[in-house]
Chain A
Amino acid sequence: MRLKVLLFLCLLPAMLFAQETTLIKGKVVAADGSPLPGASVYVEKGTIGEKMSIEGVVANYSLGTTTDINGVFSFSVPKGVERLTCSFIGYEAQQVNIKNKSFVTVTLQEAESTLGEVVVTGYQKIEKRKLTSAVSNVKAASILQAGVSSVDMMLSGQVAGVQTTAVSGAPGAPAKIRIRGTASLNGTQDPLWVLDGMPLEGTDLPDMSDTNVDELFSSSIAGINPSDIEDITILKDAAATAIYGARAANGVILITTKKGKEGKPLVLFSSKLSFVTRPNMDKLNLMNASEKIDMELMMAKYDDLDSYNYVTKKGAIGRLFEANNLWDTYRGGGVQALPQEVQSEISRLRSVNTNWGDELYRTAVNQDYSVNINGGTERSTYYFSAGYYDELGATVGASLNRLNFTLKGDYKLWDNFKLGVALYSSERKQKSYLTGTGSVTNPSRYSRNANPYLSIYDEGGNYVYDPDVPLYNGNTINYNIIEERNNTSNVLKTQSLNAVFDVDWKILPKLTLRSQLGLQRDHKDTEQYGGKNSYFARRERAMSEVGNSFFIPEGGVIKEWKNSFSQWNLKTVLEYNLSLADKHEFDFMIGNELRRTKEEGVFSAGYGFNKETLTTETIIFPDASYASTFPLFRKTYIENAFASFFATLGYTFNKKYTFFGSARIDGSDLFGVDPKYRYLPLWAASAAWRVKEESFLKEASWLNDLKLRISYGLQGNIDKGTSRYIIGERKTATLLPGQTEATIVPTNLPNDRLRWEKTATWNTGFDIAMLDNRIYFSADFYHRKSTDLIGVRTVPLENGMSTVTTNFAALTNKGFELNLVTRNIQTPSFKWNTTINVSKNLNKVDEIHVPNNQVTPSLKGYSVNALFAFKTAGLDEQGYPLFQKGDQKVTATEFFGLEDPSGWGMYQSTLTNEQIRGLYTHVGNTDPKLSGGLINNFELGRFTLNVSCAFNLGQWVKTEPFYDLIEMDRGVNRSKKMSQVWTPDNTSGTYPRMIGAYTEGGSRMGDYMAFNTGYVLANNVFRDLDIWYKEVSYLRVNSIRLAYDIPKSALAKLGIASAKVNIESRNPFVIATNYSGYFDPETVGNIYAQPMPKSITFGLNVSF
């Protein structure tokens, strides 16, 4: 046999020469037209055998070549061979017909959904066939969206189990990402981001609910230009994340950036121009001037709604009546009875109708340019890119621009030694409006609240100040939003520089040492400025009133926060691969990681600031206590160190069964913590079975692949603030006059029984590919149980502190993720692919501590994100809300057990806190019941059309009531729904009536007291009524993109290799239930959030 082969090989060239051959030339390119060097082009073995009529032997040999650096090949094939096969790693193999051709161009499609290739985990590369854990991968090219500045937002609807929600439509606003639900009650819930192997710091989102939305925040991933990204890998189960240690408990998102490819320099240029439309204010359903005047007149009728509070006197009508003492006149005779000049003033107000939306929102043009050059030789490759992004928000004054430079080089210094260097730098500038404490001047909120009868300028062109902005100490502070926009600024500048150095040394053929040093440096600078003529500055000054004088000088206010963050991360791994007898494959890795982070912050403030001279004035504080209300300087410094050791072992038997295990020990600088808790052990084990490789399926031609996976892993965490010692903070105190003395304030109670916080995750899933890979389906089921969660719980005050950090809660997340990719139509001229992903996560709190003074229900047995409400049962004949108690309908007084023992209106509740907790009914959860994405791609000739959508179904939200039951502020505009509020003149109204203490002659004072938050009940009863809870479901079309690939013939003269034009519509529409009164279903309930931008983009991609 051996002899025969030898003989054959020797004779082969002769035999081929003996045959008649023809020369075939061609070029292999990727879908984007770039050449693919090193692709295999060959004649399949069967074909040659047939032609050569040598039986048995030839089956082991095939004829072929590989492409050069330009993707070009040429070789001779025996005459009569009609088909060639082209293949390249990462792409799908393709057959081409060469009959009667001497030149062919082969376009290979990227293999997205097949189970070959490798997966980058950040620590090692694992062949996909050996993968045992839940990992998703998306190509950046397929998720790129025009007008989206950072990659986080692009993940929306793309990956099963990854829920991406916009917190606001502001330019550069980060997206909230949750991978498989919430695993922690107090800690961060954000995933870990890894850039080319370096874990990034500064990606945890601050609380962005309500008014915090006004704070400018820049995540460190926002500095990465999306067009530099090659692909994104998401690690979801413990088997995949355990290697990342404690930080990875919420999942890991790995970003791999583009690299230079061998070949002559290739230049890619892309430009995008977007037009952002103005949001539609009609969605807010606000009253016009006349309707608002009618509402105020209606309220003025009822003297029971008068209160000592200033609210009665607010609003144009209240002011008119108060100034002219007309309350009784009006109540006696209506509008007719009012003096003529007051009547005409009322009619004038009705005609003003300022459109605040037009003043606060705009249409805008955005630009996005990027260029990259790459190329190289066998020894070295390079990649250089530059990008400029400029976005103007639909809200006046909100913008973002970013400048990026990326430089990467890979060098093969010796045959077994490679070096990689990468530098990523970016500079960002985010601008926003400036709002002070309480955000009364937030434009989203103000556009709802500003009265339509209020003018912006008077006849003389002077600013008209809004007399209805909330008062401070009973004084109005001059506020005009246009003046405010012109005299204030709020800017965040971020500079970041990341560097990654990689070393890859193949010590022995099977033994590799890899090491990576990552450096991250971010510098953030926020400057808030309010000029002399701004509400912001006026308010600061008003707050400094002592007696009748102000210690804050008149003039501008400037506040600046400078934060710098740096980290270095050094990891080294040793990898050993071994395969025995072609049946046993071992992959062994051991490594360590050292990390150190430093964060430094400086805050400074200046008052009486003059923008021209850049000078401030000195403040003389009346006494030390005021100095803390107006801090002028603050410095913070935090340093942390981490050291970790890890190892993994993979074993594959017969290419069918793979077992994988990993272990990691995380050590960190836990100050004052028992040394035995300093190093945290984590581990995971998993297995996969490639069923397709079994003999009974091997021959099944309909099935391309089938794999089953199972994994289990244990992750952990320990609280840094807990110690067996009392840790103190250094502070100062003044005990007697003239002496400031050092003190040590204890910050924790020592806890010697603190245990690790543990999360155990089971994951099981399968991947199946069928019908020539035309259907690919994968499913994952998981169960994640977190126990001994660390949190703060109350302790007896006899301890000297009221709380202790301890293990006190447990929760479970379970769910499934489905991913289906189908090639519906696959003809040369028309292609249609669909990707659908669906996921569901159920979250349940198994154990939690309820302090005795808590008045909201325990979450035990419910989701962390459960919502509870007081169940109402319509209105009684006096318009008061009724509550459902068992099968009875009762009043608020009865429901909350209110009594007035003294008879003086000093109401008490007879219920205990525990009973009050029991009055709530579970409504639903803020987690969607089902979420996912739907992506369709169409290709017709040179046209491609992509439509991508994301959906969230059955998600509950608590909305902001559109009015107040007691002491409603008449000075702000309201929803048109006010017409549905019950009044004695509108008894068909369905919303509860507005009430005062003496409504119905004081006979219903108990009900009034129930709604008077903080008086008898700590609960905000009105806001907790079930009528404000809505179930929102929506499907948002994120993007529709149509692209046209310009024929090469038209470009050749210009020296352009390829060019593509495209038009994209971002956020064109959303199909949703229950979001009336809000701009978007994502931000229902938050009146501060800016609307999601809608835009049309024209783009051009050119390569040279």
Chain B
Amino acid sequence: MKITNLYILSLLAVVFTSCDSYLDIKPVGKVIPTSLDDYRDVMTYAYSTVSSDRSLSTVRGDELQLIYDDWGDYIPYYNIFIWNDVNTDQNTNSFSWQHYYKAILNANQVILSAEGATDGTQAGIDQLRGEAFLMRAYMHFGLVSLFADTYNSANLNKKAIPLATTIDVWKNYERNTVGEVYEQIFSDLESGIKLLNVDEQSKGLNYRFSKVSAYGFAARVYAYVGNWEKAHEYAKKAYDINHTLVDMNSSTALLPVNYASTENVLAMEQTFVSLLKSRFTISDNLLNAFDKENDLRFGKYFERSGSNYKCSLGYKIDNKVSMRTSEFYLLLAASEAQVSGGNLETAKTYLKELLSKRLKAAFYATEAASIDGMGKDAFLQRVQEERFRELACQGFRWYDLKFFGQPSITKTFNGESFVLQKNDARYILPFPVEAVEANPNLLN
């Protein structure tokens, strides 16, 4: 009977071993984030899902000319190009919706839970949460600027896009007003900036937000909403951290949109995807904005293709660019000229400093002289023109058009003319079909 006793004993031992620990199996590859490193990986995923909508928005602006072909390769871009949003062909490219909210979901997870992360320094946690706030602001801003009215007193109570600041699958998502969305963006910007403690990310990690890119983004948003005081304040802070410019007079200089360029402070988005390169040529409008001989950017930005030009920026992973130091100069030039107590001469200095690195020396001299002679309005007009050139084909134009005056645009395609009127309702994009299908509240 000894054996049986032994058997029973061992059996009881198994039975009474705590079942909960017996059932604790961690599936390989699956994880519930707990450590700071885990949350960093969550945030890295958020960065990797950011859409290339700024690239697609270029099609809607006036920088490109769609190429007609018999094969119908133009079809995915045709309706976007001519601002047709009703009864579009099924193959039409669509602006993203889910990508924004996917990044927001992951940012929210970091914002809501990373405070208690294990194995991390407070500085590390703060930096990560700061990035998450910036990501949430960047995504909400991306949505509101495409799919809603601009920020001004008349529009504050108009319906915009739903805000996502919690993780709750049972939430009834409804559209928030323009005012509410921007308040959230401003608040996330401020919260994020308070937490960030890395001045500038090293090359290769510069897809992440840092103080310099956070200030830069804040300056961009405030400029778009017309708050020049804030725009100036943040542009200056960004400028103080990094204001190196690539001298285009040097033939060996890296393309400034290259992630490793000293100018590239946020290499997060693909702002000009490769398909745009094959389907579009540069519009006459943009070509004519340049002095082809003396503006060094012309040769760097564009390449000849038959009788036309194509864009050399973007289209590969090396050329991800969301923010460059040159934008700080442009923002400072515009805001310095407009803020109370601002100095027009200082403003001009910023613009000239930028141009000295962009134009051939002799041409620069004449341009600088003409700038020196400008009044405020003429100068501000010149800054806008310079934005058109400096930030060409980097995903800025559609937003600049929308926030700075919503002018009328005329395009031709295959012999037909299309017009976007001044302040045309089509400056607001309709919600993507799949977004409305998944949430009919968007119709209200």
Q: Are B98 and A802 in contact (CB under 8 A)?
A: yes
Please give the distance in Å from B344's CB to the nearest CB on chain A.
Answer: 39
The answer to whether A735 and B48 touch (CB under 8 A), given A639-B25, A749-B167, A853-B434, is: yes
Bound state CA distance, A25 and B1, in angstroms? Answer: 42
Residues of chain B with a CB closer than 8 A to A851's CB = 437-438
Q: Are B434 and A505 in contact (CB under 8 A)?
A: no
Chain B's closest residue to A635 (CB) is B28
Please give the distance in Å from B347's CB to the nearest CB on chain A.
Answer: 34
The answer to whether B45 has its CB under 8 Å from any CB of chain A is yes
Q: Are A746 and B109 in contact (CB under 8 A)?
A: yes
Which of B7-15, B179-187, B421-429 contacts its partner? B7-15
Bound state CA distance, A515 and B108, in angstroms? Answer: 51
Which of A361-369, A792-800, A980-988, A1027-1035 contacts its partner? A792-800
Q: Are B44 and A735 in contact (CB under 8 A)?
A: yes
Chain B's closest residue to A675 (CB) is B20
Q: Are B167 and A414 in contact (CB under 8 A)?
A: no
Which of A109-117, A223-231, A384-392, A720-728 contacts its partner? A720-728
Q: Are A745 and B23 in contact (CB under 8 A)?
A: no
Q: Are A678 and B169 in contact (CB under 8 A)?
A: no
- Bitwise interface map of B from 7 to 35 toward A, beta carbon under 8 Å scored 1, else 0: 11001001100011011111111111100
Q: Are B30 and A414 in contact (CB under 8 A)?
A: no
Q: Are B173 and A745 in contact (CB under 8 A)?
A: no
A residues 303-337 in Cβ contact with B at 8 Å: none
- Bitwise interface map of A from 616 to 632 toward B, beta carbon under 8 Å scored 1, else 0: 00000000000000000
Q: Are A743 and B41 in contact (CB under 8 A)?
A: yes
The answer to whether A735 and B47 touch (CB under 8 A), given A503-B7, A795-B438, is: yes
Task: Please tell me which one of the listed residues A742, A799, A806 contacts residue B101 in the complex, with CB atoms under 8 A apart.
Answer: A799
Bound state CA distance, A430 and B164, in angstroms? Answer: 54
- Bitwise interface map of A from 386 to 414 toward B, beta carbon under 8 Å scored 1, else 0: 00000000000000000000000000001
The answer to whether A1 has its CB under 8 Å from any CB of chain B is no
Q: Are A797 and B438 in contact (CB under 8 A)?
A: yes
Bound state CA distance, A967 and B240, in angstroms? Answer: 65
Q: Are B14 and A594 in contact (CB under 8 A)?
A: yes
Please give the distance in Å from A593's CB to the nearest CB on chain B.
Answer: 10
The answer to whether B157 has its CB under 8 Å from any CB of chain A is no
Q: For the side of the interface on B, what is the size category?
A: 35 or more
Q: Are A796 and B109 in contact (CB under 8 A)?
A: no
Bound state CA distance, A414 and B318, in angstroms? Answer: 79
The answer to whether B216 has its CB under 8 Å from any CB of chain A is no
Residues of chain B with a CB closer than 8 A to A913's CB = 437
The answer to whether B42 has its CB under 8 Å from any CB of chain A is yes
Task: Please tell me which one of the listed residues B32, B173, B437, B439 contacts residue A723 in the complex, with CB atoms under 8 A apart.
Answer: B32
Residues of chain A with a CB closer than 8 A to B162's CB = 796, 798
Chain B's closest residue to A668 (CB) is B23
Q: Are B47 and A744 in contact (CB under 8 A)?
A: no
The answer to whether A729 and B106 touch (CB under 8 A), given A753-B170, A852-B438, is: no
Residues of chain B with a CB closer than 8 A to A570's CB = 14
Residues of chain B with a CB closer than 8 A to A733's CB = 44-45, 48
Residues of chain A with a CB closer than 8 A to B415's CB = none
A residues 657-674 in Cβ contact with B at 8 Å: 667-669, 671-672
Bound state CA distance, A414 and B437, in angstroms? Answer: 72
Chain A's closest residue to B318 (CB) is A737
The answer to whether B97 has its CB under 8 Å from any CB of chain A is yes
Q: Are B435 and A797 in contact (CB under 8 A)?
A: yes
- Bitwise interface map of B from 197 to 231 toward A, beta carbon under 8 Å scored 1, else 0: 00000001111000000000000000000000000
Q: Are B438 and A671 in contact (CB under 8 A)?
A: no
Residues of chain A with a CB closer than 8 A to B206's CB = 736
Residues of chain B with a CB closer than 8 A to A794's CB = 438
Q: Are B167 and A741 in contact (CB under 8 A)?
A: no
Q: Are B169 and A728 in contact (CB under 8 A)?
A: no
The answer to whether A643 and B19 touch (CB under 8 A), given A797-B435, A852-B440, is: yes
- Bitwise interface map of B from 90 to 105 toward A, beta carbon under 8 Å scored 1, else 0: 1000000110011111
Q: Are A798 and B30 in contact (CB under 8 A)?
A: no
Residues of chain B with a CB closer than 8 A to A801's CB = 102, 105
The answer to whether A2 has its CB under 8 Å from any CB of chain B is no
Residues of chain A with a CB closer than 8 A to B320's CB = 735-736
The answer to whether B125 has its CB under 8 Å from any CB of chain A is no
Please give the distance in Å from A573's CB to the nearest CB on chain B.
Answer: 11
Q: Are A744 and B105 in contact (CB under 8 A)?
A: no
Bound state CA distance, A417 and B7, in angstroms? Answer: 12
Q: Are A743 and B48 in contact (CB under 8 A)?
A: yes
Chain A's closest residue to B40 (CB) is A742
Q: Are A797 and B30 in contact (CB under 8 A)?
A: no
Q: Are B32 and A795 in contact (CB under 8 A)?
A: no
Task: Please tell me which one of the listed residues B14, B27, B317, B438 contacts residue A638 in the complex, with CB atoms under 8 A apart.
Answer: B27
- Bitwise interface map of A from 631 to 652 toward B, beta carbon under 8 Å scored 1, else 0: 0000001111111000000000
Q: Are A735 and B440 in contact (CB under 8 A)?
A: no
Q: Are A796 and B441 in contact (CB under 8 A)?
A: yes
The answer to whether B4 has its CB under 8 Å from any CB of chain A is yes
Residues of chain B with a CB closer than 8 A to A1016's CB = 90
Q: Are B169 and A804 in contact (CB under 8 A)?
A: yes
B residues 140-172 in Cβ contact with A at 8 Å: 162, 164, 167, 169-171
The answer to whether A343 has its CB under 8 Å from any CB of chain B is no
The answer to whether A667 and B30 touch (CB under 8 A), given A743-B44, A749-B167, A796-B439, is: no
Please give the distance in Å from B411's CB to the nearest CB on chain A.
Answer: 18
Q: Are A797 and B19 in contact (CB under 8 A)?
A: no
Q: Are B438 and A744 in contact (CB under 8 A)?
A: no
Q: Are A797 and B434 in contact (CB under 8 A)?
A: yes
Residues of chain B with a CB closer than 8 A to A800's CB = 98, 101-106, 108, 164, 167
Q: Are B259 and A737 in contact (CB under 8 A)?
A: yes
Residues of chain B with a CB closer than 8 A to A799's CB = 101, 105, 164, 167, 169, 171, 173
Q: Are B106 and A671 in contact (CB under 8 A)?
A: no
Residues of chain A with a CB closer than 8 A to B15's CB = 572, 592, 594
Q: Are B32 and A728 in contact (CB under 8 A)?
A: yes
Residues of chain A with a CB closer than 8 A to B305's CB = none
Chain A's closest residue to B108 (CB) is A800
Task: Please tell me which one of the listed residues B29, B48, B90, B434 contacts residue A730 in the complex, with CB atoms under 8 A apart.
Answer: B29
The answer to whether A796 and B24 touch (CB under 8 A), given A737-B317, A746-B109, is: no
Please give the distance in Å from A91's CB to the nearest CB on chain B.
Answer: 34
The answer to whether B38 has its CB under 8 Å from any CB of chain A is yes
Q: Are B109 and A797 in contact (CB under 8 A)?
A: no
Residues of chain B with a CB closer than 8 A to A675's CB = 20
The answer to whether B36 has its CB under 8 Å from any CB of chain A is no
Please give the distance in Å from A389's CB to the nearest CB on chain B.
Answer: 37
The answer to whether A487 has its CB under 8 Å from any CB of chain B is no
A-B contact sample (12 more), CB < 8 A, given A641-B23, A671-B26: A594-B14, A594-B22, A671-B25, A725-B32, A727-B30, A739-B204, A746-B105, A753-B170, A795-B169, A798-B164, A804-B169, A853-B437
Q: Which B residues are within 8 Å of any A CB, using their own CB?
A: 1, 4, 7-8, 11, 14-15, 19-20, 22-33, 38, 41-42, 44-45, 47-48, 87, 89-90, 97-98, 101-106, 108-109, 162, 164, 167, 169-171, 173, 204-207, 259, 267, 317-318, 320, 434-435, 437-441
Sample of 11 A–B contacts (CB below 8 Å): A503-B4, A503-B7, A667-B23, A671-B30, A672-B32, A726-B167, A728-B33, A736-B318, A746-B42, A795-B438, A906-B89
